[in-house]
Structure 1
Amino acid sequence: MRRPGHTVIRRWGAALLAAACAGCHGSGPLLHPAHVLLPGKVSFGAGLSGDMIVAGATAPPEAGASAGDPAAAELAAQRKLSEITVSPGVAPWASARVGIEGGNEAGLTYTGRALRLDGRHAFPLGEAALSIGLGASALFAGGPGPGAGPTAEGSDVYGAGIDVPVLLGFRSDADLYAVWFGPRLGLELLGGEVRLPAAGAATGGPLVDASGQHLRLGFVLGVRAGFRHVHVALEATATYHHAAGEIAGAPVVLDQGTVAPGGGLTVTF
């Protein structure tokens, strides 16, 4: 007989593998408290996160729309801009962090869509801490997808971004739990090629040039609990997104609001 634990492990493994293969959402979580690690301490973490549009969602083009319909073309461009900037969906989260002398910390994080390198400094405020960080990200907003020719799906967009999280946090004396919250501001620049959907068809048309700038302003709320070296962290970020750019030579602007929950397991030693 198969052990129930093996079934659970297989299901979690399949979910993580699927997210790693298909994950591309835009707002990778922090999942670390405001307090930094002690000098020489190292932490590793893994988990999942998601990004859900709660305001400003774009509707799919209506069936039978003509190729010359400007409203349908604008809607298709807005949806594509949302895909490469806001990038709603589910993605993996993996992180490694190290404490540095002087109340500092550095980290490297992978979120499916981005590889982020960051550093931060924590100012002690009694039992609380104020953390100010700066992150730089390499963005991978999509690949050209399988197949070739005018019906192949996908996009080929890359870019770079920076973000500044400011966290105020509290934790227990034995680090059994921690709570943190604060704003997170980010800016991204992207460029490449995307495949717009052909009017009235389920498959896409030819690749067209695309470029965009993405400004996001979010508010982070997180909590962590555990014992000694192992902790479970949960975090949610509400974010306002403003994206502007050009797709196939036509200007397009997008404003959306998202909520991004995330969670992970961290080990510190």
Structure 2
Amino acid sequence: MRPAPLGWLLSAALLLSGCASAVPAWSGGSTTPKQRTDVALGGAARVPTGELRDLEGLPQRRAAQGGGVVPVGMLRRGLTRHLDVGLMVAGTDARLELRGELGVEEGSTRSAWVWAVAPQVGWIPEEDGSGSGTRFGLDLPFVRAMDFGGVYDVWFGLRVGAEGVTGDFALEEGGAAAGASAFGLRAGGLVGLAAGFRRVHAFLEVTVAYERWWGSHGERSLDRGGAVLLPAFGLRVRL
């Protein structure tokens, strides 16, 4: 099999770096209680593998939009005893979410199934003439969440979603921009742990998923897939 031309490799890498986002779930051990507010700050990263890895020759600043560490901020407000709404900003991506609880078991250890519906949108800024565009998607995490006396939280479960990108990106490094669009599916699992006292908790979360992307860039088509690691960390304060 003949190796792919360098221009095609750069085209695919540029498009995939625009597609990718490092948005965590930050599910936590429960929904936010009614009339309470959770505020969290931290960071997240996206580590692609296989065909999704950043390719040699791709400008590092451009690749970092999809694969680098980004700052993350989150605000959640409890609507009812088992329902909350939230807003998360991760780099140039914004995510709205509605979360609820099912099968709640109260006690010294509180457990529940926590679901979320979270649409997101992002902006891909232009750097070094590589092009710009927008991202959009839907994230659907579903986890088993446990709260151990308000001191420790543990959550683990499934995370599926879909993302897309549209914009004008350079076909190759230093080349002219061409219209591009792509659509991707993601499925995997996540696990998280939080520890703290009363209103303040520090936490870690890791998502491991498989992504598959299909799209076009100019006259070139794209079909690539691989595993992705999404580690995240943060500090949450409940008001």
Give me the TM-score of the superposition, normalised by structure 1: 0.74
> Could you tell me which of 28, 39, 44 is aligned with 2:39?
44
Deviation at 1:256, TM superposition (A): 1.7
Establish whether residue 229 from structure 1 lines up as the match of residue 199 from structure 2.
yes
Give the distance between the partners of 1:160 and 1:51, measured in 2 at CA. 17
The one-letter amino acid of 1:180's match is W
Deviation at 1:122, TM superposition (A): 0.5
Q: Would you tell me which structure has more strand in proportion to its own residues?
A: 2
Distance change >3 Å, CA 30–CA 58, structure 1 → 2: closer
What percentage of residue pairs aligned between the two structures are identical? Answer: 24
The answer to whether the Cα contact below 8 Å between 2:27 and 2:143 also exists between their aligned partners in 1 is no
Deviation at 1:35, TM superposition (A): 1.2
Deviation at 1:34, TM superposition (A): 4.0
Residue in structure 2 matched with residue 181 of structure 1 by the alignment: 156
Deviation at 1:125, TM superposition (A): 3.8
- Alignment length, in residue pairs? 214
Give the distance between the partners of 1:189 and 1:35, measured in 2 at CA. 30
Establish whether residue 90 from structure 1 lines up as the match of residue 69 from structure 2.
yes
Task: Give unpaired runs (5+ residues) of structure 1.
Answer: 1-23, 62-75, 146-151, 199-203
Give the distance between the partners of 1:116 and 1:181, measured in 2 at CA. 20
Residues 17-166 of structure 1 mapped to structure 2, 5 A cutoff = 26-56=21-51, 57=53, 59-60=55-56, 87-126=66-105, 127-140=110-123, 142-145=124-127, 152-166=128-142
Give the distance between the partners of 2:212 and 2:204, measured in 1 at CA. 26
The answer to whether the Cα contact below 8 Å between 2:94 and 2:120 also exists between their aligned partners in 1 is yes
> Could you tell me which of 242, 246, 251 is aligned with 2:216?
246
Give the distance between the partners of 1:158 and 1:219, measured in 2 at CA. 26
Deviation at 1:195, TM superposition (A): 1.5
Give the distance between the partners of 1:98 and 1:39, measured in 2 at CA. 7
Give the distance between the partners of 1:89 and 1:254, measured in 2 at CA. 20
Deviation at 1:58, TM superposition (A): 5.5
State the structure with more CA Rg.
1
Distance change >3 Å, CA 60–CA 207, structure 1 → 2: same
The answer to whether the Cα contact below 8 Å between 1:46 and 1:264 also exists between their aligned partners in 2 is yes
The one-letter amino acid of 2:98's match is G
The answer to whether the Cα contact below 8 Å between 2:54 and 2:63 also exists between their aligned partners in 1 is no
Distance change >3 Å, CA 158–CA 210, structure 1 → 2: same
> Could you tell me which of 203, 211, 214 is aligned with 2:181?
211
Q: Look up the SS of the partner of 2:44 in the other structure.
A: strand
Task: Give unpaired runs (5+ residues) of structure 2.
Answer: 1-18
Q: Where has structure 1 moved over 3 Å in runs of 4 or more?
A: none
Give the distance between the partners of 2:103 and 2:115, measured in 1 at CA. 12
The one-letter amino acid of 2:144's match is L
Q: What does the per-residue CA deviation read over 1:37-58, in whole Å, with 9 as the maximum and x for residues that have no partner? A: 1100101111111111233335
